[in-house]
Structures are given as C-alpha cells and as structure tokens.
C-alpha cells in the first residue's frame, strides 16, 4: 500500500485530504512536527509527499530542498499561492506537480495516483532506506542523519544496506561476508569484525549511538 505524507498546517484541510485519499486504498498521515519535517519523513518513509508552501517555522520550499538532498520521492505542492512565480519556484525546488487551493478532492486523488504510477510502475523506486532518523541513500551510497551527510566506504555501505534491508532480523556473519566480498575465496573472519568496528565508530562520531547490535554467536542486527 502506498503511503502519503500530508504536510499541511491547517488540521481541517489535512484531515479532509487524509480521509478522502484513504477511501481510495492509500495510507496517509498528517505531519505534526513542523519544526522538523525531515524527521517526519524519515520516521514514516512515505512514497509521496503533499507539501503546502506556507508552513510554520520554515516554508514548503525549504523542506522540499532538504528532502531532495537525500531522496527523489515525488513531492506535490498544494497551495493557495498559485501565481506563476510560486508554481515556477515549486518546480525549480524539486516539486513534481502543483495543485492550487481550493481543489476538487477527486482531482487531487487522480493526480496523486498518476504521479505514483509514473514513479513506481516502471521500477523507479525511491532509493532510500531509513531507520531511527538515519537515511541511507542507495543512489549515491551516502548516509544522512539530522541533516548531516556522512560519507561511506564501499564496505560501510554494503554492511548498512544489508542490515537495514533486514532490520529487526539477525543477519549472520556468513551472509555479511558474502555481501562484502562476493567471492568463493577464504576471507579471514577478523576482516568483518574490523569493518563493523570501524563503521560503528563512524556512526557514533556522527551521533548515531547503538545503531548496530550484536547477537552473540549469531550475527548482527538493527532493531
């Protein structure tokens, strides 16, 4: 089921949009923390965002640019500020469409479904894995946390990708070694231990504490 994040500070409008698009078989959530929309995005991991322009603290353009640093998720702007300048700005900031308020709910839903089809029906999946506010960008092998970008080595990326794809489940050392070295040749198990230790240190230095857990005799887990 596709998930829609509604970034609209008028609770009446937000709830009306949520109720309507849910009748079409979509899942939706209204943003609540307007001080940190990126955190809302990371926690919910939606497939599409409806973004108002006029918001408390920072406007929709700001949040669109912040999300674009880490994801190509489709963003549809919804706003009563529908003059040409705002429409052009919305597109230039990375928006995928613009719908002027007031709008017909059925038209809004049709546009949402059209953008979802264009984005996902042709295998162009959103290339981000997220957990606890940590975002792994699969398109450029980088990590983001609280707005800061963390560069990863090839092995850092492969370890995190494997663990985040299996979050909540233990990944064996053998499986991780297979993902890292992709070879039938013998690789000393200490090499994996060293790589995990280096990655943990890098995460801790970025303020990401206790992200990779160890299950003794079994492997590693993100939970």
Q: What pLDDT is recorded for position 20?
A: 92
- Alpha helices (H) along the chain: 11-22, 37-44, 60-68, 84-92, 105-120, 154-165, 173-181, 189-205
Handedness of CA 203, 206, 211, 213 (dihedral sign): positive
Q: What pLDDT is recorded for position 71?
A: 82
Q: Do domains 3-120 and 129-221 have the same CATH topology?
A: no
- In terms of Cβ atoms closer than 10 Å to its own Cβ (0-12, 13-18, 19+), residue 56 is exposed
Fold type of domain 129-221: Arc Repressor Mutant, subunit A (1.10.10)
Q: Please state whether 88 falls in left (phi above 0), alpha (psi between -120 and 50) or beta.
A: alpha
pLDDT tens for 163-183 read 988 888 999 988 888 888 765
DSSP 166-191: TTTS-EEHHHHHHHHH--SS---HHH
Q: What pLDDT is recorded for position 80?
A: 79
Q: What pLDDT is recorded for position 121?
A: 67
Q: What percent of the chain has pLDDT over 70?
A: 91
pLDDT tens for 122-179 read 554 556 777 888 888 776 778 888 777 888 888 898 899 899 888 889 999 888 888 8
| CB 219 within 8 Å of CB 176 | yes
Phi then psi dihedrals of residue 23, to 5 deg? -70, -15
Q: What pLDDT is recorded for position 134?
A: 85
Please state the CATH superfamily assignment of the domain spanning residues 3-120 in this structure.
Response regulator (3.40.50.2300)
Q: Where do the domains of the chain lie?
A: 3-120, 129-221
Q: What pLDDT is recorded for position 11?
A: 92
Q: For the stretch 171-192, what's the b/e string if a residue is b when 16 or more beta carbons lie within 10 angstroms of its beta carbon?
A: beeeebbebbeeeeeeeeeeeb
Cα distances (angstroms) measured from residue 41 to each of 72, 87, 100, 166: 12, 23, 23, 20
pLDDT at 85 over 80: no
């Amino acid at each position: 089921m596709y998930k829609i994040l509604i970034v609209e500070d008028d609770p009446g409008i937000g709830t009306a949009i949520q109720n309507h698009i849910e009748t079409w078989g979509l899942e939706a959530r209204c943003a609540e923390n307007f001080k940190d929309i990126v955190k809302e995005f990371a926690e919910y991991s939606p497939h599409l965002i409806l973004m108002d322009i006029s918001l408390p603290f920072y406007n929709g353009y700001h949040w669109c640019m912040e999300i674009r640093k880490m994801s190509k998720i489709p963003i549809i702007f919804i706003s009563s500020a529908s003059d040409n300048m705002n429409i052009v700005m919305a597109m230039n900031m990375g928006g995928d469409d613009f719908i002027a308020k007031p709008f017909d709910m059925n038209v809004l839903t049709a546009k949402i479904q059209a953008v979802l089809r264009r984005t996902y029906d042709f295998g162009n999946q959103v290339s981000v894995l997220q957990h606890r506010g940590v975002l792994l960008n699969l398109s450029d092998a980088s990590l983001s946390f609280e707005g800061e970008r963390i560069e990863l080595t090839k092995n850092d990326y492969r370890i995190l990708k494997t663990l985040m794809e299996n979050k909540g489940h233990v990944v064996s050392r053998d499986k991780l070694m297979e993902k890292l070295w992709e070879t039938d040749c013998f690789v000393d198990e200490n090499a994996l231990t060293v790589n995990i230790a280096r990655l943990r240190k890098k995460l801790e230095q970025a303020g990401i504490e206790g992200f990779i857990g160890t299950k003794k005799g079994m492997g590693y887990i993100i939970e």
